[in-house]
Amino acid sequence: MNSQHPQMRAAIYSRVSSAQQATEEKVSLDEQFRDMESYCTQKGYTIVARFQDVGSGASKRRPRFLDMLNQIQDGRFDVVVAWKSDRLARGMYPAAALMEALEGRSVGIECVKDTIDLKTFGILAAVAKIELDNIRERVRMGHRGRARKGKAEGAVKYGYDRDAEGRPVPHPLEAGVVRRVFADYVQGMGPGAIADRLNTEGLLTRKGRPWTRTAVQHIVSAPIYIGKGFYDRRRFLKRDNGQKETVKVVWNSREEWVPVSFPELVTTETWEGAQAIRRRNARLRETARQTPVLFPLQGLVWCANCGCRFMGHFTTAYSRYRRKDGSLYKRPKLRPYRRYICYAGVYKNASCPKPRIGARTIEDAVWDTVMGFLERPESIQAVLSARRHELEEGGSWADLDRARRQLAGVEQEEQRAVTAFVKGYVDEQGLSIQMKFIKERKEHYHEEVARLQREAGALGAEVEALSAWIASAGSLRIRLALLTPEERAQALRAVVDKVVLDGCKVEVVLALDLERVSGDLASCPRRRRRQGWPGRCSPG
């Protein structure tokens, strides 16, 4: 046998859809490999490479699958052996990628359990995807039927378990934790304090993780604990355009929700009390966000050490006086003390060299850096002109033209398929398969054209903005010097894209990627007469 193909180098490829399949259900990876090794022995092939993946066959973004395609193009082997054709591809994009890698190369594709014809491989892959979608829909309808019978589908929420018939019942341990969380919450304890108490007692979440304030908030906001459960409220749509896989959450209409009765773990009065507290806290948070204290660089300052954002923080400063009787008297000052703090450096114990910095210090440094850049008109002209040339020479417009041509080609292919059906060359089933294949490609190119149109439009707007910058840069510096503090804050947000703080050094990135300029806080002189920032004004 081995003398039949003495020089045939073979690569074997196997795939399962999930890690559980690889160890338990259906045909495991080991069984696929054994069948393929036996097949290669009978054919006299020499196995020179092995590839295996755990993932969907509708995606081409499988690491070992992509490695195999690269080695096909490098001529590493003469034949690819798969267990079945659907192990290689169950959709248009992986099938197209495989056929593209094989184009112009004398590399064969063989399967142990079925045969494969590259001329119809793409259509068969599309048919496999249709069948997979049908299976998913049948499974979904089965789950909805079970939910209508009162059986909990999917992962049950913390505090519940399933009985022998699949109906939800209170969990012997978790139900008590849920009642404690609600009781502490309605008595005024915050989510963070509740989480700390549970962690101190050694209680963990169902996944074995410590409790967090977010986990507590999920419990006190869930209506399932007063018996109002639902199934099929939302769907997760996975789409793979050949470059990346995206998951879109789609909420079903209220009429599609399947009500499922759950045992009540808390009373309606307790639940309503918790919701009243949540509404009150939401109003307080909204009031805090509308603080009258001005932070011109809010959301713009980032820590170079940990990568976290600095946030504005203020405390009320007091003047202390001693009365005639010797007692101390504190009176709040008109202006609070403002500073920017690194969240991770202050609250997460990150080793940041400067987790706190006075607001005046960094605001003056950023302002002086911006003004210093604007005082050099020749630098502005050179930087903006180079950026405009880069945008005008970019590839978005050429990519848009190419995508439009590809979309037009698919539309012509669609018209030819319809014409062939009208003339009787293909039957209705054949037309349906072709139209499914064409529809996926058409949707892909429509999305690509729309994306490139947005990019081209953005580039055009940016070119116009750069032209306006060049025209007005000379007078911009004079106008900025005359601004009030409130107007200066708005100007900084319009001009500055990002501020990176590294110890005592601040790095400013101007908007539109104009230039990266640096200034040193240590060299920023402290002004003898500070310009007062108002204590009450609208946020910048």
Give domain limits for the chain: 9-133, 152-227+262-285, 301-381+482-523, 386-474
Q: What is the CATH number of domain 152-227+262-285?
A: 3.90.1750.20
Check residue 4 and report its DSSP letter: S
- Assign 53 to helix, strand or coil: strand
| Segment 273-281 long-range contacts (CB within 8 Å, at least 24 positions apart) | 273/186, 274/182, 274/185, 274/186, 274/220, 274/221, 275/221, 277/185, 277/186, 278/220, 278/221
The predicted structure's pLDDT at residue 410? 83
Comparison of pLDDT for 67 and 490, the residue scoring more: 67
- DSSP class of residue 222 equals -
**CA dist., res. 397 & res. 248, Å (int):** 29
Q: Give the residue among 274, 153, 280 at the shortest CA–CA distance from 223.
A: 274
Q: Average model confidence (pLDDT) for the chain?
A: 74
- C-alpha separations of 97 from 12, 115, 121, 128, 195 in Å: 17, 19, 12, 17, 49
- Considering only residues 142 and 176, tell me which one the structure prediction assigns the higher pLDDT: 176
Is residue 479 scored above 70 in pLDDT?
Answer: no
Per DSSP, the residues of 104-139 read TS--EEEESSS---TTTHHHHHHHHHHHHHHHHHHH
* pTM score: 0.41
Chain-centre distance for alpha carbon 98: 28
CA-to-CA distance for 114 and 39, rounded, in angstroms?
Answer: 12
Could you tell me the pLDDT band of residue 532, with boundaries at 50, 70 and 90? very low
Quickly state the pLDDT bin for 439 (edges 50, 70, 90).
confident
DSSP 224: G
Architecture of the domain delimited by 9-133: 3-Layer(aba) Sandwich (3.40)
Question: pLDDT tens across 316-375, in order?
Answer: 666 666 767 776 666 656 567 788 888 777 776 667 777 888 888 888 888 888 777 766
pLDDT tens digits, one per residue of 235-278: 777 665 445 566 777 777 777 777 877 888 999 899 999 998 88
Q: What is the pLDDT of residue 178?
A: 92
Q: Is the four-CA dihedral 269, 274, 277, 283 of positive or negative sign?
A: negative
Question: pLDDT tier at 118 (50, 70, 90 boundaries)?
Answer: low
109, amino acid identity: I
